[in-house]
A and B are shown apart, each in its own frame.
Chain A
Amino acid sequence: MSTVSELPVLTSVFIIAAGSGLLAACAASPTVEAASHLRGIYSHYAPADGNLPASGHAGLIDPPQSWPPKVLWQDCTPGRDELKDFEQAIGGTAIACPAFQQHSVATIAEDAEDAEDEAPHKGFNLYCYPLAQVLLVVETTELLGQCKHVVGLAVFKRGPQ
């Protein structure tokens, strides 16, 4: 199986699902933020209008019939694991993609810092799927044990060798 670090990428296409009508709950994809920290392995650009460009589909070689995926629930609905449905739709399973996940954490956190006012608070995650000549990055919101909701997608094309 390919790993993220093995995929040579010179060009990428970034898809923001908000506004596409496909992922209505996603106002601004943190995938943009996460991916913007990447160095070396990937680069990306976000379309200026923030919408899914028609050319974005061209980044997928032989897209499956179920492409693009449809959001079935508008938010993190208890009991729904949208990611599993998504994986069934694309016929693939996630691979580790540490390049997207890397981040540093605090050494010692003070009690007054970073107070949360939302309980339970949702977490965010990224999953990577190698599909032919592209790497699909899916962003989710998650309440562990309750739901996974797909909120963002990104496609990184394999560039010329």
Chain B
Amino acid sequence: MTAVNLGLLCAELAKHGVALKPLEQTGVPLVLRWDTNITGPILGDDTLVAFPDMHLSGFSAGDIFRGTDPNALVRLTKILRAFTAARTSFPSLRFVQLGDLYDVWRAYPEYRDHPTSDYRTIEDAYGEALGLLVQTLQARVCIGNHDATLAQFPPSWARRADGRVTKQLAYGHRFGARRVLAFHGHQEDTLDRLPSQDGAFFVKLATEAAKLSNPLFQSLEQKLDLVSDYFGDTDLSLHQAFSEGWPDATAPADTQGFTASRWCKRGRRELMESLLGRLDGASELRLVFVGHSHRPGIAALQIQNRLVPIIDVGSWVWGRSQLAIATEGQLALYDIT
């Protein structure tokens, strides 16, 4: 097996105008390295690029991908084109999107009362980027909570001429001969508390506020989203603030000035461990990728008495443009500038 040199890949992307900036916590890059002489193979021949939550909506003021940053779509399109070009030199590149690709709640605020099977609002606004991601790069896509309706009514790109729905769209995807699992990560929220997705209330309120598009209400929506992030899953937020076990580090300051410490302490880790421990082939798991929290970080789970790193890749909302790249022996989290 031949691991891709991440430095060379970054240099290749730079030729296409994309600068990957390593994400840091307290000045330390978020990088995970492992020795395959000890761990055995994990990624194998794959080089996995993981894109987290994007929340693509209708390009309205309530669209948190666009948020307050008019260049978000430019960055996304640029890096997708760069990866398209880089595949010639790096044919082992594979792509996964970790869920909440579409934000159906925001694109169709009425959808709870009228489930939609028509995603044109989102696809008309983001057609080129979506086409590059799911049709050109053939990214595997996980189903998230904001686009859970995709599981019932799959979008066009997951449908083939014979009427079947491909496995490009699934709740989770496994790579590296089943050793790597990628999924959205909200499932642990719902294990014992199904109504916890009532964060939808905040989304609805925020979307209504955003209709009054001016800086004041846009700011209000942003704050509501942060509130939703924290308190939409009440138990999670409390544990997140006070529990132990995740990297004790200050969150990287981002464009929002969001600097709450210990933001990546997902106190519901035990539920996640319980969930993953019951998966078919759980004993094979060596690495887990999730999104959902919008807060990038690296931590570890105990799954069947084995330490399994869990990578929270972050998000593409409110000006963030984060992703993870993993090759055999090394993984790094990046932001795009």
A interface residue numbers (CB < 8 A to B): 28, 30, 33-34, 37, 94, 96-98, 100-111, 113-114, 116, 119-125, 127, 140-146
Contacts and interface: CB of A to CB of B under 8 A. Distances in A.
A105 B123 contact: no
22 contacts: A33-B163, A96-B114, A98-B117, A103-B154, A105-B171, A108-B173, A108-B279, A108-B280, A109-B170, A111-B175, A119-B135, A120-B136, A121-B138, A122-B135, A144-B127, A144-B131, A144-B134, A144-B135, A144-B157, A145-B126, A145-B128, A146-B127
Interface of B: 46, 94, 114-118, 120, 123, 126-132, 134-138, 140, 143, 150-163, 165-178, 181, 183, 279-280
Nearest to B143: A105
Contacts of B183: 108
Contacts of B279: 108
Contacts of B177: 111
Contacts of B166: 114, 116
Nearest to A33: B163
B171 A111 contact: no
A96 B131 contact: no
Given A102-B152, A108-B172, A140-B156, A145 B163 contact: no
A101 B117 contact: yes
Contacts of A94: 118, 120
Given A103-B153, A111-B174, 16 more contacts: A97-B117, A98-B152, A102-B153, A103-B159, A105-B150, A107-B172, A108-B173, A108-B181, A108-B183, A111-B178, A116-B166, A119-B136, A123-B160, A125-B155, A144-B135, A144-B156
Given A102-B153, A103-B165, A108-B279, A96 B117 contact: yes
B118 A143 contact: no
Contacts of B115: 96, 98
B157 A142 contact: yes
B10 to A, nearest CB: 23
A125 B159 contact: yes
B163 A142 contact: no
Contacts of B280: 108
Contacts of B118: 94, 96-97, 127
Contact of A105 (B46, B138, B154): B154
Nearest to B169: A105
Contacts of A104: 151-152, 165
B208 to A, nearest CB: 22
Contact of B158 (A119, A123, A145): A123
A120 B46 CA distance: 20
Contacts of B165: 103-105
Contacts of A34: 163
Contact of A123 (B128, B143, B159): B159
B170 A124 contact: no
A145 B129 CA distance: 7
A56 B325 CA distance: 54
Given A33-B162, A124-B159, A108 B154 contact: no
Contacts of B116: 96, 98
A109 B167 contact: yes
A115 B171 CA distance: 17
Contacts of B168: 109, 114, 116
A140 B161 CA distance: 10
A142 B120 CA distance: 12
A121 B163 contact: no
